[in-house]
Chain A
Amino acid sequence: MTTTADNKPEPVTSGAAADPRRSGTIVVDYGRGNLFGLVRAFEQLGERPIVTEDPESLRSADRIVLPGVGAFGDAMAELNRRRLVDPLIEIGRRGTPFLGICVGCQVMLQGGDEYGQHAGLDLFEGRARRLPEGNDPVERWRIPNVGWRSIEPSGLPSVVDHLAADDMVYFAHSYAPHMPAAGVVAATMSFNGHVIPVALQQGALVGVQFHPERSGPVGLSVLERFLRLRPAAAPT
């Protein structure tokens, strides 16, 4: 972990200053969640994101952040209503750095099973499913899963591969990614005896089930790693 609140890193060049056609980091606003805290976390890292719900301005983004709270279907409905779904899929597929947080991570999957079956952005193979219940009445982990948890990096190069065993990040969720293959799983969490994917990465496409913007210096270090990602070559 290299970033701290007091020890600010060099500002990350977004490209926006150099090229007026580029928009730097864009935080997608679809009417849900604590965007203020997310923007402030990026500002702490020297980045000034643009918050917008305008589909056109997304296309000029150097990187996209898709936050989210609430239910999967509700989040997709809000994205649809604002005509953001197609631009997000296009941007994700062409290799622009893309970070989904919490429900923003879940909607990057093929679909989700919260309050019915819903289609997602299909940027990652897999579905958002409810966390598994525990059997032991005393030792079981409660749902929603709220609090600070250790996560285990998988060994793949990713924005969380620097986390140490005693680093913890903050979760607040009842659903999580369920993946058919381990290929894109960057980190997992142990929950009621099950191994749950909580960070996904493929090239510059990143999804995290936890809240890096609420996870203290450790979380800020994850955001800083995301800011340093380069666009990936578009998958063939």
Chain B
Amino acid sequence: MISRPPVRLVARLDVKGPNVVKGIQLEGLRIVGDPAAMARKYYRDGIDEIIFVDIVASLYQRNNILEVVRATAADVFVPITVGGGIRTLDDVVAALRSGADKVSVNTAAIARPGFLKEAAEAFGSQCVVLSVEAKRRRNGRGWEALTDNGRERTDVDVLDWVAEGERLGAGELLVTSIDQEGSAKGMDLDLLVAIHDRVSIPVIASGGAGSPDDVAQVFARGAAEAVACAHVLHYGLAEVPDIKAYLTGRDIVVRPSPAF
């Protein structure tokens, strides 16, 4: 009898310039705080991983995301993933040199799928997270992959794309439900189950978590290995130890919050 591995609770911080921002369905953005300070608080609270998403893909502009990563990696000793504007192998090197452990790639991978393969061969699959922004099709037939932080349509089918991404060497999937994003009304379990069944690599679910129970439902269905929380943490609907205690109470194994 093998029990499932411990799940991960991830804090997702969408960053624009020097600020963490939050919107609904990736629109109507509000400033919610300082990225490094928020990451530090979540670290002390026992978060298992941090994901930064540069929503304006400003890698080479002033106040760029790599400065945020450096400031965070200085005293946050859990894995850090950075995404938004990663287009070349040099971008990956720059992210890793700044203290990131992994990069997440969406737009560049859809534009040129071979980039996933090149990055996986150079840095290992465990370093390459394929980020997928999924929007339910109006006709109800599956989901379409969006790019540019939900701004552009592609007509690419999400389920086909994640299978292709795994084949090309992605080591994890970050799946964002655009329909649920920022709603705090629960995660898109249909989407997550469909994706999880389609691939053999770990899945990080994102979009819609508004309560510890929303997080627990994903794990209870076995629909993801990790859940990324934004709204629920940023607006204080629940704290990291609350969510972990809730999961533990439902026999979902998760790293206990450490004693500092």
Q: Which residues of A contact B (CB under 8 A)?
A: 4-6, 32-37, 40-41, 44, 69-71, 74, 103, 134, 136, 138-150, 166, 168, 170, 172-174, 192-193, 211, 213-220
Q: Which of A40, A41, A147, A173 is B202 in contact with, Cβ under 8 Å?
A: A147
What are some 10 contacts across the A-B interface (CB < 8 A)? A4-B260, A5-B44, A36-B99, A37-B99, A40-B99, A70-B122, A141-B2, A170-B48, A214-B101, A219-B77
Q: Report the bound CA distance from A34 to B259 in whole Å.
A: 26
Inter-subunit contact B2/A33 (CB<8 Å) = no
Question: CB-CB < 8 A to B255: which residues of A?
Answer: 148, 168
Inter-subunit contact B3/A168 (CB<8 Å) = no
The 3 closest A-B pairs by CB, nearest first: A172-B126, A36-B99, A70-B124
Residue B73 at the chain A interface, CB threshold 8 Å = yes
Decide yes or no: A141 and B5 within 8 Å by CB, A44-B77, A216-B78 being known contacts.
yes
Residue B200 at the chain A interface, CB threshold 8 Å = yes
Residue B12 at the chain A interface, CB threshold 8 Å = no
| Most A Cβ at <10 Å: residue of B74, B75, B78, B102 | B78
Q: Which of A41, A138, A172, A173 is B101 in contact with, Cβ under 8 Å?
A: A172
Inter-subunit contact B48/A147 (CB<8 Å) = yes
Within 8 A of A (CB), among B44-80: 44, 48, 70, 73-75, 77-80
**What distance in Å separates the Cβ of B35 from its nearest Cβ neighbour in chain A?**
16
Inter-subunit contact B99/A70 (CB<8 Å) = no
Decide yes or no: A144 and B172 within 8 Å by CB, A34-B101, A172-B126 being known contacts.
yes
Q: Which of A35, A170, A217 is B258 in contact with, Cβ under 8 Å?
A: A217
Question: CB-CB < 8 A to A147: which residues of B?
Answer: 5-8, 48, 202, 225-226
Inter-subunit contact A69/B124 (CB<8 Å) = yes
Inter-subunit contact A40/B73 (CB<8 Å) = yes
**What distance in Å separates the Cβ of A188 from its nearest Cβ neighbour in chain B?**
15
**What distance in Å separates the Cβ of A44 from its nearest Cβ neighbour in chain B?**
7
Nearest B residue to A103 via CB reads B124
Nearest B residue to A193 via CB reads B2
Inter-subunit contact A146/B225 (CB<8 Å) = yes
Nearest A residue to B3 via CB reads A139
Residue B114 at the chain A interface, CB threshold 8 Å = no
| Other A-B pairs, 7, CB within 8 Å; known A140-B2, A142-B201, A214-B79 | A4-B260, A36-B98, A141-B2, A166-B256, A174-B171, A193-B2, A216-B258
Q: Which of B2, B97, B122, B226 is A74 in contact with, Cβ under 8 Å?
A: B122
Inter-subunit contact B122/A34 (CB<8 Å) = no
Question: CB-CB < 8 A to A34: which residues of B?
Answer: 73, 96-97, 99-101
| Most B Cβ at <10 Å: residue of A4, A150, A170, A217 | A170
Residue B222 at the chain A interface, CB threshold 8 Å = yes
Inter-subunit contact B6/A37 (CB<8 Å) = no
Q: Which of A142, A211, A219 is B225 in contact with, Cβ under 8 Å?
A: A142
Chain B binding surface SS class: loop
Question: CB-CB < 8 A to A103: which residues of B?
Answer: 124
**What distance in Å separates the Cβ of A115 from its nearest Cβ neighbour in chain B?**
8
Inter-subunit contact B258/A144 (CB<8 Å) = no
Question: CB-CB < 8 A to A166: which residues of B?
Answer: 256
Inter-subunit contact A216/B77 (CB<8 Å) = yes
Inter-subunit contact A170/B2 (CB<8 Å) = no
**What distance in Å separates the Cβ of B8 from its nearest Cβ neighbour in chain A?**
5
Question: CB-CB < 8 A to A37: which residues of B?
Answer: 73, 77, 80, 99, 101
Interface string of B13-50 (1 = CB under 8 A from A): 00000000000000000000000000000011000100
Question: CB-CB < 8 A to B258: which residues of A?
Answer: 216-218
Nearest B residue to A72 via CB reads B124
Q: Which of B79, B98, B122 is A172 in contact with, Cβ under 8 Å?
A: B79
Q: Report the bound CA distance from A211 to B4 in whole Å.
A: 21
Residue B127 at the chain A interface, CB threshold 8 Å = yes
Residue B235 at the chain A interface, CB threshold 8 Å = no
Residue B125 at the chain A interface, CB threshold 8 Å = yes
